[in-house]
Each structure stands twice: as structure tokens, then as C-alpha cells.
Chain A
């Protein structure tokens, strides 16, 4: 990816989405003081694909998410969201991103509806459009009847689903999820994972799902293995396993990172 600004603006239309990666990271490095959190990270995600960002704690996953969402951007390398460089065209890039962070982002004392309206307002959406989008996105998570309830009364899994609905209100094309199953009971994890897969399949969203749990990577996914700030492998689940000379992605992860299976 080395399109100029004008080219990328012109070609960012829906028709071209198939060819422009949802997310393209190139030569990305970032340090905190002397500690290098990311070192020359490059990979890309196609629209409509689910990519698992697999790495142990401390691999640099959260740093990567912070840079892609422009929490800070003092870094080396480029990050493009559908062709828009995050540093140079932050508004264009951010309006195409839906993000779900590791920490809870909902106001516990406000209702589900209040929270969703706040999210939509931050993207400049009208109240009418917001109501329509809430019907659709919250409807898909099966929580529409909880609209007037305080967030505090929801379970961990339900909160996550509300956060996913919130992140989707402004019709993003790229979904970023930073360890979204942390604090969610085991029974609720699978439905969330399946919900995101369905969004990729049916709506053509690109998704980057960061996790350290190997069982959240399913056949057919793409996977980026990140360890100590380096990309160790990138590709389809089977390809990565084959290239590492192992039978499963779990074994490949163990072999590549030199860590015990987790």
C-alpha cells in the first residue's frame, strides 16, 4: 500500500473496498522510553475477514490498538484504515472504525439507551438515525428489551454485547476488539465470537480480535501471531500451522513463542 492521499480518497468508495485492505499496518514501531513495545510490525486485514491477533500478555496488542485508534500517535511506520492514514486523516480513519476495548466503557449508572445515544452523538449522528440503528444493532444482540435498564443490572456478557452494538451504530467498516472476552463468563464467550464472525461474513466488516486464548481462534480465520512486539507469523490458520511444521495453531503458537500452551 503506497497510495497517495488523493488516490486513496478517490478509491475509498464501496466498490473499491474489496481491494483496499480494511487495515494496513506497515513497519510500525513504538517505544515507551527505552522499552520497544512494537518493532517493525506489518500486516493487513481484508474487508470481510476475521483476523485473530494472537499474543501472550505484554506482546504489544494493546499498544497496537491504541495506535490504530489514535489514542497516541508518536510512532514510526504507517497505519491505514481503508487507505486513510490515521495520523494524517484521523477523522476519515476513525469514522470507519468501531472499537471495543479491554476495559469497560459503559456508564454503569446510565441506561443502555443513554449509553448508546452518547456513542452515536460522538459520531455526530441524529437522534432519529440513532434510534433506527439501535433497533437494528441492539436487536441483533437480543437485548432490545433491556433498553431502559441501567447498565449495572446487566451481566458481563450482556455489557459486552451492548458495547458491540454501540461500536456498530455509526456503521464502521473495521471492527477492533481488544480481548473482548475478558471478564465474560465462558458460556457467553462463544456467542460473542460467533456474532463477530457473522458480521464479517454477512456485512463484509473487517475485524481484528486480540486475544491470548488459543481456543478463540477457529479454522477459516486469519491469524497474526505477535510476541514481544514482533510479528512471528501472519496468514490463514492452517497455513500458519503448516509453516511452523505443527499439527494445530495451538502447537504453532507454542512453538513460535516458545511459551507453554495457554
Chain B
């Protein structure tokens, strides 16, 4: 296989991912409405109750809706990562996973391509969300909004890859489609609430030290921190390293999970549960 063929393969996977997304208006709509509901309703309700003191990267007191914007960007990516894991499980049950797996390209390449394609779709969602928030006067500061929006892109790709790799890993573990409700309860909600997305962690520290540590090392917190600083044109190197490390870990485990001779698929007999005739 030549490099050109590798590129064509990725392009094919990306185009399919994009077409599927554009064809599912419902998915696009709900991916957009979810963070907007949080922004317009939840944040408005909370802004009076919760005061955020000045913490980096903020240099002034900020309204609550500004504080949670990075968290809601993270939420889009978290849902997207889990959604792509759902679609992997769905693909597996429906058989289109088979199409991917019989490609002569190496399996790690196929999985990584699929992951990156899904992340690029989520990046589009994030910018649409930011465009709407912009009209709500939620804009990156001083340096000029453009800087923040541009600096955000690499952060979005990295955090998207990390959360997507987590989804990919879970898709190799989940047996059936129905278990996705379980993912909502046991993965998405705990990850989202035990993070720096909705409240600065120093406030959590006052109530519970254990929870504070969990939230600090929660991969999602790290992703949100990375996004938060990037929006202000800054790099949070600690968050960057953590996100990169989590990405490598999740991706390695996911590729292992799909390995034809050792992974979970191999042990269980692969797509769609136990083999029939």
C-alpha cells in the first residue's frame, strides 16, 4: 500500500463520517441544542449564585456563562466521542464494521482514521456553537477573538482525539447497543460533573478533598483546562501533557481491543455477539 492509497482511505472514511453527520439532522441539532440549553438556561440561573474568583487564565472577574463555555465545548466533544463509540457498536451489529475490517490497510490505521474523522466532525460542531455564543457576547478576550478561535483548533483536535479514543476503547468492550444508556450514567455524567467544566475545582476542595483529587485527574478536566487556556491564546502545558498521555493510553488499549489475535473481539468472536452458523 502506498502513501497515496493511505490518504485515499482516510479521505473515504472522513467523507462517509461527514455525510452521515449531515444526513442526520437530528444528531446535529441535538449536539447543538444540548450545550446551548446549558448556556442559556443553566448558566443564567447560576450566575447569581456562583461567583468565580480570579483564576488563570482569567484576569478579571468573569460572568458564569464565560466560565462554563470551555466546559460546554468539552461537553460537545465528550458526547461526540461517546456517540462515535455508539456508532461503532451499531456498525458492529449492523455489519458495516466488517467492511472497514476487511480493508487491506493495517487495522491501527483504520481505527485511527475513523477516530480522526469523527473528531473533525466534532470540531465543526464546536465552531457552530461558538458562533452562536458570539452573538450572546461570549467571546475570547483582549488579544482579539480571532486569536482565541485559531488557538483553539489544535486544542480541540487533541482533546477530541483523547475523548474519542476513550469512546473507541469502550466500543471494543461494550457487548451490545443497549448498554449505551449505561455509558450515559456511568461515564458521561460522572466525567462531566466531577470536572472543572461547571465549577472551579478550588470550590470543590472545600466540600470534599477526595472528590477534588478525582476531579483533578479526571481526563475530562484536563481537556477542559486545555480548551479554557487555548481560548485565551495560552497553552496550559500541564493539561497538554496529561491529555496527550491519556490519548496514547486510550488509543493503545482500543487498538489492543480490536487486535485480531489478542483483543476482546478475538476472544468473544467479534461483531454482533457470539457467532452463528
Given A71-B265, A72-B261, A110-B19: A122 in contact with B277 (beta carbons within 8 A)? no
Write the nearest CB–CB distance from A129 to chain B, whole angstroms: 10
Per DSSP, chain B at the interface is helix
User: Are B20 and A72 closer than 8 Å at their CB atoms?
Assistant: no
User: Are B104 and A71 closer than 8 Å at their CB atoms?
Assistant: no
With A and B bound together, what is the CA distance between A63 and B274 in angstroms?
10
User: Are A212 and B277 closer than 8 Å at their CB atoms?
Assistant: yes
Q: Does B138 contact A (CB under 8 A)?
A: no
Point out the residue from B5, B9, B98, B110 that lies within 8 Å of A101, measured CB to CB: B98
With A and B bound together, what is the CA distance between A107 and B94 in angstroms?
9
Q: Contacts of B103 on A, CB cut-off 8 Å?
A: 94, 122-123
User: Are A107 and B98 closer than 8 Å at their CB atoms?
Assistant: no
Q: Does A102 contact B (CB under 8 A)?
A: yes
In B236-277, the 8 Å CB interface with A consists of 260-263, 265-272, 274-277
Q: Contacts of B110 on A, CB cut-off 8 Å?
A: 122
In B122-140, the 8 Å CB interface with A consists of none
User: Are B277 and A74 closer than 8 Å at their CB atoms?
Assistant: no
User: Are A57 and B277 closer than 8 Å at their CB atoms?
Assistant: yes
With A and B bound together, what is the CA distance between A124 and B1 in angstroms?
8
- Map CB proximity to B onto A115-151 as digits: 1 under 8 Å, 0 otherwise: 0011111111110000000000000000000000000
Point out the residue from A73, A74, A109 that lies within 8 Å of B23, measured CB to CB: A109
User: Are B260 and A72 closer than 8 Å at their CB atoms?
Assistant: yes
User: Are A103 and B95 closer than 8 Å at their CB atoms?
Assistant: yes
Write the nearest CB–CB distance from A168 to chain B, whole angstroms: 13
How many residues does chain A have at the interface if contact means C-beta atoms less than 8 Å apart? 49
With A and B bound together, what is the CA distance between A55 and B277 in angstroms?
8
How many residues does chain B have at the interface if contact means C-beta atoms less than 8 Å apart? 46
- Map CB proximity to A onto B1-36 as digits: 1 under 8 Å, 0 otherwise: 110111011011101100110011000000000000
User: Are B102 and A97 closer than 8 Å at their CB atoms?
Assistant: yes
With A and B bound together, what is the CA distance between A32 and B93 in angstroms?
19
Q: Does B100 contact A (CB under 8 A)?
A: yes
- Map CB proximity to A onto B94-126 as digits: 1 under 8 Å, 0 otherwise: 111011111111100010000000000000000
User: Are B23 and A110 closer than 8 Å at their CB atoms?
Assistant: yes
Q: Contacts of B272 on A, CB cut-off 8 Å?
A: 103
Q: Contacts of B269 on A, CB cut-off 8 Å?
A: 32, 37, 63, 66, 72
Q: Contacts of B9 on A, CB cut-off 8 Å?
A: 121-124
For A124, the closest partner residue in chain B by CB is: B5
Given A105-B96, A212-B277: A122 in contact with B105 (beta carbons within 8 A)? yes
Given A105-B95, A122-B12, A124-B1: A72 in contact with B270 (beta carbons within 8 A)? yes
Given A74-B260, A104-B94, A106-B96: A121 in contact with B277 (beta carbons within 8 A)? no
Q: Contacts of A57 on B, CB cut-off 8 Å?
A: 276-277
Q: Contacts of A91 on B, CB cut-off 8 Å?
A: 1, 104-106
Q: Contacts of A58 on B, CB cut-off 8 Å?
A: 276-277
For B4, the closest partner residue in chain A by CB is: A124
Given A91-B1, A121-B9, A122-B100: A101 in contact with B95 (beta carbons within 8 A)? yes
Given A72-B261, A106-B96, A109-B23: A95 in contact with B275 (beta carbons within 8 A)? no
User: Are B104 and A123 closer than 8 Å at their CB atoms?
Assistant: yes
Interface centre among B13, B100, B270 (most CB of A within 10 A): B270
Q: Contacts of A212 on B, CB cut-off 8 Å?
A: 277
Q: Could you list 26 examples of A-B contacts with CB < 8 Å?
A: A32-B269, A37-B269, A55-B277, A58-B277, A59-B277, A60-B275, A63-B275, A69-B101, A70-B102, A71-B102, A71-B270, A73-B266, A102-B276, A103-B93, A103-B272, A104-B94, A107-B20, A109-B20, A114-B16, A120-B12, A121-B9, A122-B9, A122-B13, A122-B103, A123-B104, A125-B5
A-B contact sample (16 more), CB < 8 A, given A32-B267, A73-B266, A91-B105: A58-B277, A60-B275, A69-B98, A69-B102, A70-B102, A71-B265, A72-B260, A92-B104, A103-B271, A110-B19, A117-B12, A118-B13, A118-B15, A121-B9, A123-B9, A124-B9
